[in-house]
């Protein structure tokens, strides 16, 4: 008889507060690895902050902000090997940067330009999914395929608290469990699905409890603690590689930025809580940890931040240097057998746009 261990409910933490709560450490992480994690967090933070500015300047379209979620993304990423696949939602749009995907490509995606597409197999990073939870069955399928082929690679998929109410989440999680697919289900519980709070989303006491329903182990971590996310993901990946199937990680965060640039959360969010969360944000927490350890100083911090800012400057310049896409693309690849009206519609569009 299969039996499922109840999910680990306590929030796992490694980083202390520099005061009463002592710092922990993660086995196997030396100075170089700790700094690699830091560089990734800075890169993501810089990408995110610059993107909000580019949006305000009209240089990219609507953008889903991930400020404060860098620890979830970087922590999970560093627990993977290059052969492992990542299935992001719009909230992790820039995760490919960490695998060497050019910033210009991701910025072009947000500009609605065809040069914003990449071949997933070049980076083992799947396309960004906007329909909620649809990436979960994609990831389950890929992970199962890896197992069938006897390969050691795993898949990791990111999704939100709201996504756990979707059929696609259920199907993906159930399928992965039954097929013992090497999949990490990483839920970023930022406690909001646009304006819907977690309390209106689920009657479950904790999202991690859902794991038991699929017969898979679940862990709950402080999503603002990059080392806790890293450690939990590393264990989940090891389980996958050992043929033990999927794992569920609930990373508890709080969305302290608008859902996206098109959202004004003042109408529904608790502003005091947002202030508290922003004061305790994940990059600052990790900087404090590294400084206490003597691994990070002013000069190195500045060097890493300047490098990231330069990369973004070059990225937006390259994205803007792309010639505009031909409007005919709107009609191409839509239907194998396009109706005759398309020709007329395209001619009309060209006439209006003067192209």
Ligand X SMILES: Cc1ncc(C[n+]2csc(CCOP(=O)(O)OP(=O)(O)O)c2C)c(N)n1
Task: Point out which residues bind Mg ion (CB under 5 A).
Answer: 160-161, 190, 193
Q: Per the residue annotation, which of 9, 56, 268, 273 is the catalytic one?
A: 268
By CB under 6 A, how many residues form the interface with ligand X? 14
Site for ligand X, residues 173 to 192, rule: CB under 6 A: 190, 192
Is residue 255 part of the annotated active site? The answer reads yes
Binding mask 152-171 for ligand X (x = CB under 6 A): --------xxxx--------
Least Å distance between CB 162 and ligand X? 3
Three-state secondary structure readout of 103-153: HHHHHHHHCCCHHHCCCHHHHCECCCECCCCCHHHHHHHHHHHHHHCCCCC
Please name the residue ranges forming H helices in the chain. 31-56, 70-78, 103-110, 120-123, 135-148, 167-178, 198-201, 210-214, 226-241, 271-279, 282-293, 298-320, 341-353
Query: Closest CB to Mg ion among 141 and 160?
Result: 160
Cα separation of 282 and 266, whole Å? 23
Q: How far is the CB of 190 from Mg ion (least distance, A)?
A: 4
Q: Does the annotation mark 268 as catalytic?
A: yes
Helix (H, G, I), strand (E, B) or coil at 204: coil
Range 226-265, binding ligand X (CB under 6 A)? 255, 259
Of residues 76-105, those binding ligand X (CB under 6 A)? 91
Q: What is the DSSP letter of 205?
A: S
254 annotated active-site: no
Q: Least distance in Å: CB of 168 to ligand X? A: 8
Residue 68 near ligand X by CB under 6 A: no
Single out the catalytic residue among 78, 91, 259, 285: 259
Comparing CA positions, the residue from 241, 322, 166, 226 lying closest to residue 25 is 226
**From Mg ion, ligand X, none, which one binds at residue 84 (CB under 5 to 8 Å depending on kind)?**
none
Beta bridge partners of 248: 185, 218
* Contacts of 305 by beta carbon, 8 Å cutoff, 6+ apart: 42, 46
Give the active site residues.
255, 259, 268
Catalog residues that contact ligand X under the rule CB under 6 A.
Answer: 91, 130-132, 160-163, 190, 192-194, 255, 259
């Amino acid at each position: 008889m299969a039996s499922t261990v109840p999910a680990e409910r306590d929030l796992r933490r490694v980083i202390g507060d520099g005061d009463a709560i002592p710092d922990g450490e993660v086995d196997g992480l030396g100075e170089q690895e700790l700094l690699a994690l830091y560089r990734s967090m800075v890169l993501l933070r810089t990408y995110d902050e610059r993107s909000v500015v580019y949006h305000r300047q009209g240089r990219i379209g609507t953008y889903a902000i991930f400020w404060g979620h860098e620890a979830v993304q970087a922590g999970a990423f560093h627990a993977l090997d290059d052969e492992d696949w990542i299935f992001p939602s719009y909230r992790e749009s820039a995760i490919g940067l960490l695998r060497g995907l050019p910033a210009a490509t991701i910025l072009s995606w947000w500009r609605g330009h065809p040069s914003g597409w990449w071949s997933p197999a070049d980076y083992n990073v799947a396309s960004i999914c906007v329909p909620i939870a649809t990436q979960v069955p994609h990831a389950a399928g890929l992970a199962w395929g890896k197992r069938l082929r006897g390969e050691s690679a795993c898949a990791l998929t990111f999704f939100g608290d709201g996504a756990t109410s979707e059929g696609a989440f259920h199907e993906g999680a159930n399928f992965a469990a039954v097929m013992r697919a090497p999949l990490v289900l990483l839920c970023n519980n930022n406690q909001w699905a646009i304006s819907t709070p977690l309390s209106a989303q689920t009657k479950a006491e904790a999202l991690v409890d859902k794991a038991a329903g699929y017969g898979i182990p679940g862990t709950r971590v402080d999503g603002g603690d990059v080392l806790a996310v890293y450690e939990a993901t590393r264990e989940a990946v090891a389980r996958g590689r050992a043929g033990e199937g999927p794992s569920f990680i609930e990373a508890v965060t709080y969305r302290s930025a608008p859902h996206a640039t098109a959202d004004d959360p003042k109408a529904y969010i608790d502003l005091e809580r947002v202030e508290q969360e922003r004061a305790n944000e994940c990059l600052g927490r990790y900087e404090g940890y590294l400084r206490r350890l003597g691994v990070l100083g002013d000069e190195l911090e500045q060097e890493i931040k300047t490098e990231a800012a330069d990369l973004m400057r070059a990225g937006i310049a390259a994205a803007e240097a792309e010639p505009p896409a031909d409007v005919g693309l709107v009609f191409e690849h839509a239907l194998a057998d396009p109706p005759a009206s398309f020709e007329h519609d395209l001619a009309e569009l060209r006439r209006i746009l003067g192209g």
